[in-house]
Amino acid sequence: MRCWRLDDGRQTLVLGSDRDHLAEIIYWGPRLPDAEDLTTLFSAHAIDVTGGMLDANPELSICPEATRSFPGQPGLILRAGDGTPLLPKFCFEKAEQGDDQLELRFVDAANGLTYTAHFSIDPATHMIVAQATLEAAKPVHLHWLSAPVFPGPQLSDDMIDVAGRWCGEFQLNRTPWSPGMRYRENRTGRTGHEHFPGLILPCRGATNTRGHAYAFHYGWSGGHRMVAEELPDGRRQIQFGHAARVESAPATRFETAPLYAVFSDDGINGCAVAFQRHLRDRIVQFPDPARPRPVHYNCWEAVYFDHSLPTLKDIATRAATLGAERFVLDDGWFGNRDDDTRALSDWEVDARKYPDGLAPLIAHVHGLGMSFGLWFEPEMINPDSDIHRAHPDWALGGEDQILGRNQKALNMGCADVRDFLFDRIAAILETQAIDYIKWDHNRVLPTPDAAQTRGSYALIDRLRAAFPMVEIESCASGGGRIDFGILSRTHRVWLSDSNDALERLKMQHNAAIFLPMAVTGSHVGPRKCHTSGRTLDIRFRAWVAAQRHMGFEMDPRELTEEETAVLTEVTAWWKANRDWMFDADILRLDSPDRAVIAEQQLAQGGARFVVFAGKAAVSDQIAPRPLRLTRLSPDAQYRIDLINRGDAGPLSRGAPALKSGPITLSGAYLMNHGLILPWSFPESMWVIEGTLV
Ligand code: DGJ
């Protein structure tokens, strides 16, 4: 019997392999003592056998094998090159353990297969990263390969996964555990609004701030498959991998994307903080980490395809006055792109709109002290485009396919296509001072194909190598391509096409389980939201954007004097606070009022924080309930300041202390009783600063 363990300060992962079988995770949870005897642990882990069962329980291994009578979904399904189904049975070959790393290799000599699982644990972020590789002596057809399989906790009643839609990303779904499986498979070929690849398993009684919780994220942009299965014997397994059957050709090597897994002993926030930190500190590669996140202005909802140089200059001037530091020219600048029916892939500046190229606009933007960003949608092509007319074979899918936003996807597995895109994009980046690309992807694929995702990654990687100072925003009709795979090569996500602050408040709250402020774009939209028709007050719109990487997207010419003043002030607040908020932990608060969606952004070291308490609806009860804070030092005193107390309306008639000035309270009080905020209208936000005294 062989056992291995990986530890960080708060969790231990133990794997064991007996009789040379594939290893299984025999323990994952709070840290075990160093002296724990792993061999005893292995025997203690074995479950009994009774009537109506096999004479021993097949192991729930890191890649369950059908050949070992495993009563659930196997971790690997494949066929030989000639199509014959293969039934692998692996045998231990070797283990290599380094600092915080473990690699296990198993061989199936009869079928010429090698399976390797790699685990690492990050002592600072508490993230476990697991990845599986399959090698074959002769080309094989892969149907399904799971990243190393984890056990699901038994003291968990529900699983939470993530669904969504255009303008409504990051909706959390709760499903009770029951015998059988919850199977999610994304066959759209991109991460998708509907399928963010994440899973949260709270143990019984866990909340945002308390209890045990486990969480997973699969870092891949081509569509994933998740199996959360309760076996007939009660054990539970979690599998994540690429969607099934997305490898279109036989090959001798396949690998999964990294599976990120974390255990938390302080609620779902423990998982959220691990994901936020790991993504920001280990995955995203900012070209200049010291550069503060610039306030964005994006012109999409101001002008759409109607580009006119004088108008854009005017808008840019106004945006800069409000506090913008980067101007992003969105769709409509190339080819004859007057609407969304044409010109995608004709990546040359439209001389009708820009007779002297982009240089005059860029010079104007630079003159205002802003940097310049440009929109592309590289992987797409309109049938009505010069490039489609020249290379119809570059597009994926048949002539009779259903178009998406009037467009087809380009075949990113084709080197000629990638070269063409590299050359066209490089030609623009080489000649213009552009420090940012908004990289869009507005349709699903006609059929999912892993080669497409690998091709997209290769193009982005090549561009990044050639233009290392250019940041990239991942957008796909809003949040259709958000995952740690794309974020290892990009720097910001466009969370949603909804600039409706109420919808955003909800989405940002849920997305914070996985995404830090530093990468989550959030813009102040038009007074009357273009995607919901809702009219929202500028204060609410501004503060919701200030929760994340702030920007504007409305036409600044629509702003009244009062709106201009509010927006300028909130933007100045954001700039004054963004440095510490960049690496603050976003902690979702357990709000006793269902109408209040609240979070606490806690600075590294804990000396300061800001609470954003958004009122998403009218409360059921008449008076505000206290909002409990989290992760403070119980014995410390904090100066609490309701910084936008001036927003209290006439129906807030009483005199809660926070309305008249800062107060000082202990961490114990704030965490156990909570703050009573003034009464407020729905669609408003209280902003509370806390400072360690
Ligand atoms: C979809 C994006 O999500 C929008 O922000 C905008 O860039 C449009 N595409 C442009 O076509």
Minimum CA distance residue for ligand 1 atom 11 = 331
Atom of ligand 1 nearest to the CA of 476: 3
Contact 243, 223 (CB under 8 A): yes
Distance (Å) from CA 304 to ligand 1 centroid? 9
Minimum CA distance residue for ligand 1 atom 2 = 477
List, for residues 354-386, the tens digit of each pLDDT value: 999 999 999 999 999 999 999 999 999 999 999
Contact 277, 122 (CB under 8 A): no
**Cα separation, 653 vs 611, whole angstroms:** 23
For 458, other C-beta atoms within 10 Å of its C-beta total 16
Residue 176: partners with Cβ closer than 8 Å, 6 or more residues away: 157, 158
List, for residues 68-118, the tens digit of each pLDDT value: 999 999 999 999 999 999 999 999 999 999 999 999 999 999 999 999 999
pLDDT given for residue 588 in this prediction:
98
**Cα separation, 566 vs 498, whole angstroms:** 21
pLDDT given for residue 409 in this prediction:
98
Residue 607: partners with Cβ closer than 8 Å, 6 or more residues away: 691, 692
**Cα separation, 198 vs 513, whole angstroms:** 9
Atom of ligand 1 nearest to the CA of 477: 3
Q: Side chain identity at 188, as an amino acid letter?
A: T
Distance (Å) from CA 550 to ligand 1 centroid? 17
pLDDT given for residue 593 in this prediction:
97
Distance (Å) from CA 440 to ligand 1 centroid? 7
Residues constituting the chain: 693
> What radius of gyration do the chain's Cα atoms show?
26
440, 500, 585, 647: which one is catalytic? 440
Q: Side chain identity at 111, as an amino acid letter?
A: N
Instruction: Give me the residue label for tokens 């794309």.
Output: 486
- Confirm whether 497 is a catalytic residue: yes
Averaged pLDDT, 38-42: 97
Contact 582, 292 (CB under 8 A): yes
Averaged pLDDT, 428-443: 97
Burial class (CB in 10 A: 0-12, 13-18, 19+), 71: middle
- Cα 484 to the center of its chain, rounded Å: 6
Distance (Å) from CA 58 to ligand 1 centroid? 50
pLDDT given for residue 423 in this prediction:
98
Q: Side chain identity at 382, as an amino acid letter?
A: N
For residue 270, give the H/E element and its range.
Answer: helix 267-278
pLDDT given for residue 640 in this prediction:
98
Distance (Å) from CA 523 to ligand 1 centroid? 13
Estimate the share of the chain in helix, then strand, then coil, as percent rounded to the nearest 5: 25, 30, 45
Contact 146, 133 (CB under 8 A): no
330, 331, 497, 593: which one is catalytic? 497
Minimum CA distance residue for ligand 1 atom 1 = 477
Which residues have CB under 6 Å of ligand 1? 300, 330-331, 375, 440, 442, 475, 477-478, 494, 497
Averaged pLDDT, 236-261: 98
pLDDT given for residue 177 in this prediction:
98
Write out the two tokens for 501: 């602050």
Question: Which of 444, 441, 442, 358 lies closest to 401 in space, CA to CA?
Answer: 444
**What is the best residue among 300, 339, 507 to mutate for testing ligand 1's pocket, by most ligand atoms within 8 Å of CB?**
300
Q: What is the mean pLDDT of the chain?
A: 98
Distance (Å) from CA 376 to ligand 1 centroid? 10
**What is the best residue among 299, 305, 307, 330 to mutate for testing ligand 1's pocket, by most ligand atoms within 8 Å of CB?**
330
**Cα separation, 654 vs 657, whole angstroms:** 9
Cα distances (angstroms) measured from residue 12 to each of 128, 159, 205, 263, 264 = 10, 22, 22, 9, 11
List, for residues 603-616, the tens digit of each pLDDT value: 999 999 999 999 99
List, for residues 476-531, the tens digit of each pLDDT value: 999 999 999 999 999 999 999 999 999 999 999 999 999 999 999 999 999 999 99
Minimum CA distance residue for ligand 1 atom 9 = 477
Q: Side chain identity at 134, as an amino acid letter?
A: L
The pTM assigned to this predicted structure is 0.98
**What is the best residue among 167, 331, 473 to mutate for testing ligand 1's pocket, by most ligand atoms within 8 Å of CB?**
331
Write out the two tokens for 156: 């968990």
